[in-house]
Structures are given as C-alpha cells and as structure tokens.
Amino acid sequence: MLIPKPLILFIDAYDSFSNNIISLLETTLDVSVRTIKIDNPALATDAGLHEELRHYVAVICGPGPGHPAKEEDVGLIRRIWKLSENELLPVLGICLGFQSLCLEFGAKVRRLKGPQHGIVRRIQHAGENKVEGQQSIFHNVGEIAATLYQSLCVDIGQDSVPNGQWEVQKWKPSTRCPDLQPLAWVEHDLSIANDAGVEDARVLVAVQHVSKPFWALQYHPESICTNPESTKVLEQWFFHATCWNNLHRKRRLSFDGPIQGRTAVRESLLSQHEKTRLEKLDGHMGLTSIVPKIHAVNDLVCHSLVVPIPANVSVVEISEIVQGDRGDRIVFESSNAHEKSVGSADVRGKYSIIGLEIDDCLRYEYTSGENSLRSICRKPGDQYSQILDIDPYGGIWPFLAKHLDRRQVLNVVPAEVGKESPFWGGFMGYTTYELGLQSIGVIPVKTGASNVGRPDLSFAWVTRSMVIDHVKNIIYLQELAPNSDASKSASWQNRIRSLLQNALPPVSNFLLNGTMVHIRNMARLPAKFTQRNPFQSTLRNTSSESVLSITTPEDADYEQKVHKCQESIRSGDSYEICLTDQTLVTLRKSRSISSWDLYKTLRSRQPAPFASYIRLGSATLVSASPERFLKYSAEGKCELRPMKGTVRKSAEVSTLAQATALLDIPKEKAENLMIVDLVRHDLHGVCGSGNVAVPRLMVVEEYKSVFQMISIVQGQIPQAVDPDLKWHMREKEVEEAMRKRYTGLDVLAASLPPGSMTGAPKKRSCEILQEIEGGKDRSLYSGVVGYMDVAGRGDWSVTIRCMFKWDDEDGVEIFETGEKIETETWHIGAGGAVTALSTARGEREEMLTKLSGTLGLFRQ
C-alpha cells in the first residue's frame, strides 16, 4: 500500500515563481504540496479555512505582487497569522509572506530606496550560536547567495540603530517588534559603489516568531541563481515544523474529507475534454447531439517523398515555384541557415517549412472571450463556414488538443525516407498576445470597434507540406492521407517534383547506405539562382515611394511610460515590465510591392532562425524573429528559449566578446534571470516538480543588427504510462491514461503570453501594461507563430521583429487633387523590459534599436 506523503499548503498570491517553490519543496522534503489562491472563495469563512487546514502539516505563504497591507494583495495570508492556539500550525512566509508576517507583528513596511529584483546578494545569517537559547533554521548552514525579488522591505527598527551598536543589536528582537527574532540580513556599505541598485544599508531577510511556529524568508530560495546551500534552510524549517507539530499541534490532522487545495500541475487538456464529455453524458443529454462531429481519421499516414535540391536555392524560390507569389501562404523559414554569425548552433537553421494549398485548408479562427470558433473551408467544391460551440469541449485548447488527438499519425511512408522530417502536417498559424491574456485571466480592454471579431487564434490544418532540410539539401514533399490513398499522393508528389525539377538546376543524387548523396554542378546554375535576392533593389526604391506616413512612438511619451512602469515596480506591483509600443506605416497599396515582397527583403536583411511569412484569412505577418518560444518533441521533451538583454551592434560593440562583456552586468542579468524563473514556473505547472532544468543560462548570441542574451529552460512533459509500470496495467487502464495524456499543447496553453513579452509576475504586469499601453491591442506582435504536428511535435517563435496588417484596415485616401489612393496599414511593435535599473532614455533607444530592423524596409 502507498503511504500518502504529508501535505503542505501553498497559499499563492498570484506570483510567477510559485511552482518553482513547490518544486523545491517536493524535491527537497518528503512532502506533497497543494495550492490555493489568496482569494479562494471557499475559504472565505473561518470555519472553511479551519477545515481546510486540517489536511496539512504546514503552510507556505508565498511571494507576490503588491503590498502586504493591502487586503486584495495578501487575502488569506493575513488570516494565517491570526489563527487561534487551537488551529495553529507551522508556517513559512516567503517574500510577500515574510512582509505580511512582519507587518502583523509590528514592523513597518517601507519602499526600498533601491528596489532589488533578480539581484543576487549574500545573506548574513545568525548560524548556530548567535540566537540565544535555541537553534535556528540556519543552524549549520554555510554561505548563502540568494536572489532577491523585492521593492519593499520591513523595518523592525534597524534603520535607527547607530552603527556602533549594530553588531550587538542585529540579532535581538527590537523594541518595536519584540515577537520577531531576526535571523538573517543583507547588508551593504553604502560608501562602496555598486551597479546593482543597492541603496539600503541593512535589510532584514529572515525572521522567526519568538513563541508561535512562524518563520519567514524575504529572499527567494527557489530562484535558479540562489545557491543550493539555501535548501538546508528549508530542510531545517521542516524539521522544526515537524517537531512543533509533535509537541504542540492541537487540531488532529485529517486524511479524508473535501479539500480545496489543488496540485500545482494543471489538469491535461485531453482530461479536461474527457471530463466535460462525461459530465454531458451524466446529464443524459446524448453526446452526439452536443458535440459536433469531427471525423476520426484512424488510418492517416504521412506520405513522404524526398526531392534533392541545389545548395543555394532559397526557400522563397521554392515557395514561388510551387505556389506562385499570390494567395494565402504560410512559410516558417530558418532564414539564417547559411549565416554562420547569426544565432547559435542549435538554432542555426536546419529546417524550413512551407504549408501548401493554404487557400483550400480547413481553418479554425477563434476570438478571445468567445465560446465558439469559426471553422472555415474554401476548397472548391467543399466550401463552408461554420460556427462551432466549444463549450462542450471545455474551451479552445481542449478542443484543439482533441482535434489533434483524433488525427494522431504514427507512421510515415516510406519510413526510412520521411522519419527525420520534423513536421508531417498539422496545425500551422498564429495566436495573438490577447489570447494569452485570456488564459491568465486578464481581460483585454479592446479599444475601438474595428478589431472586434478579428481572430486571436488562426490555425490552418495543413495536409500538404514541404520541409526543406538546409543541411542535406533535400525537400520532403509530404501529404497526410489514408494509407490506401498512396497512389493519389504519389501522383501529387510527382507533379510537384516535376515543377521543382523543371524550374531548378539539375542535381545528381543517389542513395548510399540510406543517405542521399548529391553531386552539384554550380557552374550550371542559371544567374537567377546565384543572386541572393533579385527583388531587393527594386523594393528599396518602390517601398519608400509607397510610404504615405510613418507614425513612431513620441520620445517623451515613451519615456513617460517607462517612468510609469518604474513607479509600479517601486510600489511592489511588478518586478519587471516588458513595455512596448507600436509604429504605424501606411502604404499606398500597389501591385508592385506585395507583403511577400516585403518578406523577401526582410528575410535577407535580417536573417533569423525563426523568420515567418503568414497570409491567412484577414491577417498578414512578415517576421524576422530571433526568439524561439517553445519547442517540443513527441516524447514530451520541451524547451523554451527566453531572450532578455539586447545590445545594438555598432562600431564600438561589434564582436560577441564585447557584447558579452557589456551584458555581464546586474541590470541585464537580472532582466534575464527574472524571465528564466518565470518560465520555469510556467513549465513546472505542466511538467511537475523536479522536471525542469536550465542547461544554458545567460549566453550572448549574435544577430544581424543586435546581440541578444538567451537562456534555455527545458522540461519533461509527464508520460501517460510509465514504461516500467505498463506491464502491470490492464489494457483499459492504459487506454484511459492515453486518452488523458499531456502533450506539448498543454505547455503552450499554460505558457502564453510569452514571459519575455510580459515581465514578472505575469498577471499583474500584464494588467499594468493594459493601463500604460492604453489598452491598445498588441495583436500578432507579442503572440506566437508556429506549428503543432500530427506526430505530437511543435515549434513556436515569439512574434517580434515583425510587422503585421489586417485587411479590415485597408482604406482609401482622397487627396485634394481628387486622386484616390488605396492604402494599407502595417503595425510594427517594439519594446523591452523595464526594471528598476532602467533609464528612460536607454529603454527608448532599445525600443528604437529593435524597431529599426523592420522599419528600415520603409526608410531607404
């Protein structure tokens, strides 16, 4: 029989690091953690709270945005300190929880003179012998270097202790707070210059209540940059907590009865779908009448044909040969494939993907806030536009998860040829920033009527595709179709292969031990294919002639917004805020430069590992994104690659070594660290405790016009069936586990909007941004673009360094001369992370640097 582990309750104040703390607790201590939000209505009454607490051996009052004196920021936490002797149990406060405890027992809470977010400091603790009469939770603990995330601090009277008395006084309870035993401090000699924004000489960072089982830490033990020594403090806290329970706990622990606390790992999308389905069945409503039929296609396979291509043929040329240069189109391109100095080896463009026949694809469009989606197909002979109610599926994400699940494809034919292709077919498309806001419970303030009904998610179901392998110089021509349709697929593939072979110079090739070998004859290439981009020079002239207006953010206005972000940081409401703004470019619509032409120029001027062109429905996106958001494999390995820290290339900073030195400062490292910790939290929410790692931390990469600091966060998605246990399970149990399994889509749904575009904590920072950015939709900018394939794989980029337009903004301008001009308006978003250490001017310049790559298309 399995013995249940003791339960700890984590009270979550809507922070973006909570799951990291839970992971640390569950991997360090032999406990399970359940979590509730500070405003859980089920615990609004004291009776409800007391009932809930009966399940737990201890409570953690977590960190969070805001101020401990504000009821809406701490909620339940404040009531924990007031528990009567009968209900009392051990508690550890962390950061906001620490501040709340100190406030309750007499401390003043004040703003730090220099906020400390993502800054690593040495913790001076009392160790074993300074606290009289008892061992503290720092007993036998060595040196701790810990990350701070705080704008506020508590003052138990230390500010007024004269220097001469400090060493004696600092470990004693103060007259202001006789119940609080100080356990640790961060100290700084202010006469020594520092670049971490330190302006406070003494900050209390750990306390213990002298008679109640309350302990608290102001630093963040779970941060990736806090050293492992600090976990000893948690172990000792739990030891003290257990001893206290054994000696003093009045209320007996309960192992049964209703419990509000939930595991930090969210329910899988497929399980949510299943649950909704069963609920409907329970209601005897007859499932078939509620759930719209999606045909299960059980015998789908991916038919694949490999076509060799000459080495220097571009993705643009391939796309034009097969698709012409008009119509809907989706191209995900590693446009840095041949640029050794762009990106690092792991993203140096191995593959590009082209979705084919996008005009004819089934397309799903969803607008956030709605409970239905549009399913659209414009295929000649099979045209329809349907509204599907997604409530019966449990929402948009469970709906998509189920759609993919029913079309899972396990085989590619012939297997030895197509198995290396990273994409066999599936969804390709985009989601907006506002879709992400919906998933974290921030209601977007939609301004203006024009954007009503625009899709926040648009995915084409791509069954015919090309994957270009830039290393092997081959194309996979692929079609998803029933196994029995092999000959139909073959005739389509042969047709496309002929198209390519007729248009491209010949390539001799043969298979050697299963590997394709090419013999290329460069001398035979026609001139068209040796020129990198034949359209570039024409566009340069035409585009500047077509520009009717460019509206960039006003300097003073942008700087004002940076100050507003910093005010929210100083008040404790945010640790870092990714401020952005939009530039509008209105063009004379002309047949001679299409969006595709713009893409062609951008991709060659700003080579990037995650470039993309999307023309889908009423949206057009032209992107040179350097940032991978999320990649996952069919086996559940996932990887996020947040970027934070940007330097413009210039004569002074032209090498990677120079940029690395420039970014190796607390301001830049803090920006990156905060997002790494936030992304770890998002990933822990699906992968579970102990299943997230950071194999690369703060490494600088070179791009065409900037240097970027990146980190890599990896996780393992829980497997439906443990291979070791599978043999002990009945077939039905295995089936059920598979029906409810987690996929990469769970991670995607749990991590939007991308943390690098929000700041931390995510929810509060996004709310602040709604206000500061004036409720303007960021729309495609700050969203993600990518694919989820039928074999369970996915790759998504953050939509930055891009421009987009909506067809509904196309207009007509009438000049005084009476001339009528058709116009289109492009949006270019740009911004950067604001921290306490930012300067308004520096932030504005950073925004302009990021803008310049894309805006440059219109300025020459």
Ligand X SMILES: C=C(O[C@@H]1C=C(C(=O)O)C=C[C@H]1O)C(=O)O
Ligand Y SMILES: NC(=O)CC[C@H](N)C(=O)O
Q: Specify the 3-state DSSP secondary structure of 92.
A: strand
From ligand X, ligand Y, none, which one binds at residue 669 (CB under 5 to 8 Å depending on kind)? none
The residue from 52, 328, 333, 627 that contacts ligand X (CB under 6 A) is 627
Q: Specify the 3-state DSSP secondary structure of 517.
A: strand
Number of residues lying near ligand X (CB under 6 A): 18
The phi and psi torsions of 126 (rounded to 5 degrees) equal -75, -15
Q: Specify the 3-state DSSP secondary structure of 109.
A: strand
The residue from 756, 779, 799, 835 that contacts ligand X (CB under 6 A) is 756
Residues 431 and 458: their CA atoms lie apart, in Å, by: 7
The phi and psi torsions of 281 (rounded to 5 degrees) equal -65, -40
The phi and psi torsions of 583 (rounded to 5 degrees) equal -105, 135
CB of 354 to ligand X, least distance (A): 25
Q: Which distant-in-sequence residues (6+ apart) come within 8 Å of 24 by Cβ?
A: 221, 222, 231, 234
From ligand Y, ligand X, none, which one binds at residue 831 (CB under 5 to 8 Å depending on kind)? ligand X
For ligand X, give the closer residue by CB, 123 or 663: 663
If phi > 0 it is left, if psi is from -120 to 50 it is alpha, else beta; for residue 617 that is: left
From ligand Y, ligand X, none, which one binds at residue 801 (CB under 5 to 8 Å depending on kind)? ligand X
CB of 477 to ligand X, least distance (A): 35
For ligand X, give the closer residue by CB, 111 or 564: 564
For ligand Y, give the closer residue by CB, 182 or 343: 182
User: What stretch of H or E contains 186?
Assistant: strand 180-187
Q: Hunting for tokens 């002239």 — which residue is that? A: 541
Q: Hunting for tokens 């009717």 — which residue is that? A: 548
Residues 294 and 337: their CA atoms lie apart, in Å, by: 39
CB of 67 to ligand Y, least distance (A): 6
CB of 646 to ligand Y, least distance (A): 25
The residue from 644, 680, 741, 778 that contacts ligand X (CB under 6 A) is 644
Contacts with ligand Y by CB under 6 A lie at 63-66, 95-96, 149-152, 572
User: Please, are residues 683 and 265 in contact by the beta-carbon 8 Å criterion?
Assistant: no
From ligand Y, ligand X, none, which one binds at residue 464 (CB under 5 to 8 Å depending on kind)? none
Q: Between the CA of residue 387 and those of 164, 292, 296, 373, 626, what are the distances in Å? A: 75, 10, 19, 6, 36
Q: Output the DSSP codes for 238-265.
A: HHHHHHHHHHH--SPP-SSS----B-SS
Contacting range for ligand X; rule: CB under 6 A; set: 231-239, 337-345, 517-525, 641-649? 641-649
Contacting range for ligand X; rule: CB under 6 A; set: 274-282, 361-369, 534-542, 640-648? 640-648
Q: Could you say whether residue 646 binds ligand X (CB under 6 A)? A: yes
Contacting range for ligand X; rule: CB under 6 A; set: 171-179, 733-741, 787-795, 824-832? 824-832
Q: Could you say whether residue 850 binds ligand X (CB under 6 A)? A: yes
For ligand X, give the closer residue by CB, 9 or 578: 578
Q: Could you say whether residue 645 binds ligand X (CB under 6 A)? A: yes
Contacting range for ligand X; rule: CB under 6 A; set: 170-178, 245-253, 340-348, 644-652? 644-652
Q: Could you say whether residue 432 binds ligand X (CB under 6 A)? A: no
For ligand X, give the closer residue by CB, 480 or 622: 622
User: Please, are residues 426 and 789 in contact by the beta-carbon 8 Å criterion?
Assistant: yes
For ligand X, give the closer residue by CB, 150 or 583: 583
Identify residues 830-849 at the interface with ligand X (CB under 6 A): 830-833
Residues 582 and 803: their CA atoms lie apart, in Å, by: 10
From ligand Y, ligand X, none, which one binds at residue 850 (CB under 5 to 8 Å depending on kind)? ligand X
Helix axes 656-663 and 666-687, enclosed angle (nearest 10): 80
From ligand Y, ligand X, none, which one binds at residue 66 (CB under 5 to 8 Å depending on kind)? ligand Y
CB of 785 to ligand X, least distance (A): 14
Q: Output the DSSP codes for 268-322.
A: PHHHHHHHHHHHHHHTT--HHHHSPP----TTEEEEEEEEE--TT--HHHHHHHH
Q: Specify the 3-state DSSP secondary structure of 150.
A: strand
For ligand Y, give the closer residue by CB, 375 or 566: 566
CB of 116 to ligand Y, least distance (A): 9
From ligand X, ligand Y, none, which one binds at residue 832 (CB under 5 to 8 Å depending on kind)? ligand X
For ligand X, give the closer residue by CB, 158 or 756: 756
Residues 112 and 232: their CA atoms lie apart, in Å, by: 28
The residue from 580, 620, 714, 779 that contacts ligand X (CB under 6 A) is 580
CB of 351 to ligand X, least distance (A): 22
Q: What angle do CA 498, 504, 508 make, to 5 degrees?
A: 85
From ligand X, ligand Y, none, which one binds at residue 691 (CB under 5 to 8 Å depending on kind)? none
The phi and psi torsions of 853 (rounded to 5 degrees) equal -60, -50
From ligand Y, ligand X, none, which one binds at residue 148 (CB under 5 to 8 Å depending on kind)? none
Neighbour-count burial of 819, counting CB atoms closer than 10 A to its CB (0-12 exposed, 13-18 middle, 19+ buried) = exposed
CB of 65 to ligand Y, least distance (A): 5
User: Please, are residues 203 and 218 in contact by the beta-carbon 8 Å criterion?
Assistant: yes
From ligand X, ligand Y, none, which one binds at residue 425 (CB under 5 to 8 Å depending on kind)? none
CB of 149 to ligand Y, least distance (A): 4
For ligand Y, give the closer residue by CB, 148 or 301: 148
CB of 851 to ligand X, least distance (A): 7
User: What stretch of H or E contains 632?
Assistant: strand 628-632
CB of 96 to ligand Y, least distance (A): 3
From ligand X, ligand Y, none, which one binds at residue 150 (CB under 5 to 8 Å depending on kind)? ligand Y
For ligand X, give the closer residue by CB, 101 or 643: 643
From ligand X, ligand Y, none, which one binds at residue 800 (CB under 5 to 8 Å depending on kind)? ligand X
If phi > 0 it is left, if psi is from -120 to 50 it is alpha, else beta; for residue 521 that is: beta
* Extended beta strands in 6-140, E state: 7-12, 32-37, 58-61, 91-94, 108-125
For ligand Y, give the closer residue by CB, 63 or 436: 63
The end-to-end CA distance of the chain, in Å, is 74
From ligand Y, ligand X, none, which one binds at residue 9 (CB under 5 to 8 Å depending on kind)? none
Task: Convert residues 771-810 into a mask of x (bound to ligand X by CB under 6 A) and - (unbound).
Answer: ---------------------------x-xx---------
User: What stretch of H or E contains 679?
Assistant: helix 666-687
Contacting range for ligand X; rule: CB under 6 A; set: 110-118, 151-159, 681-689, 829-837? 829-837
CB of 131 to ligand Y, least distance (A): 25
Q: Which distant-in-sequence residues (6+ apart) come within 8 Å of 232 by Cβ?
A: 140, 141, 142
From ligand Y, ligand X, none, which one binds at residue 833 (CB under 5 to 8 Å depending on kind)? ligand X
For ligand X, give the closer residue by CB, 607 or 829: 829
- Give which of 622, 624, 612, 626 is closest to 347, Cα–Cα: 626
Q: Could you say whether residue 569 binds ligand X (CB under 6 A)? A: no
507-540 exposure pattern, b = at least 16 Cβ within 10 A, e = fewer: bebeeeeeebeeebeeeebeeebeeeeebeeebe
CB of 115 to ligand X, least distance (A): 18
For ligand X, give the closer residue by CB, 25 or 798: 798
From ligand X, ligand Y, none, which one binds at residue 580 (CB under 5 to 8 Å depending on kind)? ligand X
User: What stretch of H or E contains 48?
Assistant: helix 46-53
Residues that bind ligand X (CB under 6 A): 578, 580, 627, 643-646, 756-757, 798, 800-801, 829-833, 850
